[in-house]
Amino acid sequence: MWQSSGKYQPRADQLVRVAPAIIDMGCFDRVETNGGAFEQVNLLYGENPNRSVRLWTAPFHKAGIQTHMLERGLNALRMYPVPADVRELMFKVKKAQGTDIARSFCGLNDHRNLRLSVEYAKKAGMISQAALSITHSPVHTVEYYMDVVRHLVEYGTDEICLKDMAGVGRPSVLGRLVSEIKKQYPHIKVQYHGHSGPGFSTASMLEVARAGADYLDVAVEPLSWGKVHPDVITIQQMLRADGFLVKDINMDAYMQVRALTQEFIDDFLGYWINPSNSRMTSLLVGCGLPGGMMGSMMADLQGFKSAINAAEKASGKPESDIDTLMVRLFSEVEYVWPRLGYPPLVTPFSQYVKNTALMNLFAQAQGKPRFSSIDKDTWGMILGRMGRLPGPLAPEIVALAKEKGLEFYDGNPQDEYPDELPKFRAMMAEEGWDCGPDDEELFELAMHERQYRDYRSGIAKERFEHDLEELKAKAGAPIVVKRPVVEEPRFSVEEYERRFPGAVPICAPSKGQMLWEIDVKDDSTAPVPGTAVTAGVPCGYVQTKYGLEEIIPARTGRIVAVTAPQGREVVKGEIVAFAE
């Protein structure tokens, strides 16, 4: 849940606190515990990821629940290629730390990048789960994916994961894909991982379950839905209604996990969670961007906003707000993606495509042509140094490469990156650092050298704490009142009803803080009398302990009185306004 919600995940002490409640829910056979961004993020806020993984996996092992990690094939746990000897050490270390299953994916679905992942995982004693990076395009057909599966099975994978990271896989297509896998390879376990962002994933889960999938990935509120996974309760009830045998959920434990998750958000994690990540949007259907990168994308867009607006202002164009730029960026991704060979939009290739689209927007604002600026990592993808692209490159991209004197590569990408462990072992000795149990500290240096050095020096923790204090200070900045505060109700509810006999009360759906508008610094903000409202359309929110609850008016009309101003604590059922 955390990796797709914000920049960080809980600290080790928080993970240890929530693990017993997750176990007590009683419905999980597997829990994703580490890998992907997990290791690197620990280093970024000054913690040792090796300690975190050992502490985090231990209670699940004791309870008989399998733990699994996510790794990126050729890129392992980072955003760029990793030497083979470092990749091999990773599986040894993670198995020793308590990880049972290695979910390995290649963002390009180049089976060559997954061969060593399968072999190294099995050699280390782990279950090898090779993943298909799911997307929707003219080239990503069932036949295309089955060709990848054929190679993965030949390499010896135990399981296949349908990694629908953007949630754009069409349910019927995914169902056919699972049916075909089960038909040709009945011994292979299939797990489905689908994000909620564009809204397909619940239907996809039912389709793949009917087709024979063995495991479904779910989440828990307040981080379920939005850009993450559907909630476990909904999926359990959906499957049960369809005739599947699924485990019961201990709701007391569920509520405890829910409350702890919110506590962790309130503690520090929420300062790096973009509010838009809690919302689903069908705008993602067209561009196919994964929910997991929405936070970073919005941050990038915010950073470019001033530069784009300044360039457009210089040419006499009006300024664009962040929502307008977001829609333009989504459209530009749709334009760029097929021209770069339809790489599935998953880490790191989603970043490459997004970065190119963003630079195109900036170039166009300056009156320059598209593709005026392409970074070196994106060129590495274009030229084949990270694997084969699923589709052909646009002629304009090929011509641009030739114009720059760049050469295309069709060899095995791993051959481009020679072994490096001896070099890093010498570095450990030079620094006087112990390689750690099972060489786990050596592994961290070799995988994330810069972040590991910052962690060891203490710079990472200092930087993190400084950033956190700045965000806390910003969140608690003095309120600037720009207009008179809406008065407290001077009359009883009965008096309001007498004054506005035709009015209908608008009530708070839950206990929490009244928010007529989100993310405003002026707590006097509230609808003034005469503000239009529409039946069934949210006119405000209540910030509860577990997230935002929408306030839905029962009738279309206008506000005639406000009884709960912005920022007021309200209780469930309390009248917050009248409309007629």
Residue 92's alpha-carbon distances to 83, 429, 510, 523, in angstroms, are 15, 21, 49, 54
Distance of alpha carbon 303 from alpha carbon 5, whole angstroms: 19
> Domain 493-579, what architecture?
Beta Barrel (2.40)
Distance of alpha carbon 253 from alpha carbon 376, whole angstroms: 48
Q: Is 405 exposed, middle or buried (0-12, 13-18, 19+ CB in 10 A)?
A: exposed
Using alpha carbons, select from 544, 550, 543 the residue that is nearest to residue 507: 550
Asked if the domains 2-273 and 493-579 are classified in one and the same CATH topology, the answer is no
| DSSP letters for 42-105 | HHHTT--HHHHHHHHHHHHHHHT-EEEEEE-GGGTTSSS---HHHHHHHHHHHHHHT--EEEEE
Question: By the 8 A CB rule, do 7 and 41 touch?
Answer: yes
Position 421 scores a pLDDT of 98
Phi, psi of 505 (to 5 degrees): -70, 145
Q: Which residues, at least 6 apart from 235, have a Cβ–Cβ distance to it below 8 Å?
A: 202, 205, 216, 218
2-273: CATH topology: TIM Barrel (3.20.20)
Beta bridge mates, 577: 506, 562
Position 577 scores a pLDDT of 86
Q: Which residues, at least 6 apart from 423, have a Cβ–Cβ distance to it below 8 Å?
A: none
Question: By the 8 A CB rule, do 315 and 367 touch?
Answer: yes
Distance of alpha carbon 2 from alpha carbon 380, whole angstroms: 29
- Stated pTM of the model: 0.78
Tracing tokens 């600290």 back to the chain, one arrives at 11
Q: What are the structural domain ranges in the chain?
A: 2-273, 283-416, 421-475, 493-579
Counting as low any pLDDT under 50, the low residues of the chain are 477-491, 520-523
User: Cis omega before residue 338 (within 30°)?
Assistant: no
Question: By the 8 A CB rule, do 566 and 520 touch?
Answer: yes
Position 318 scores a pLDDT of 84
Question: By the 8 A CB rule, do 105 and 131 touch?
Answer: yes
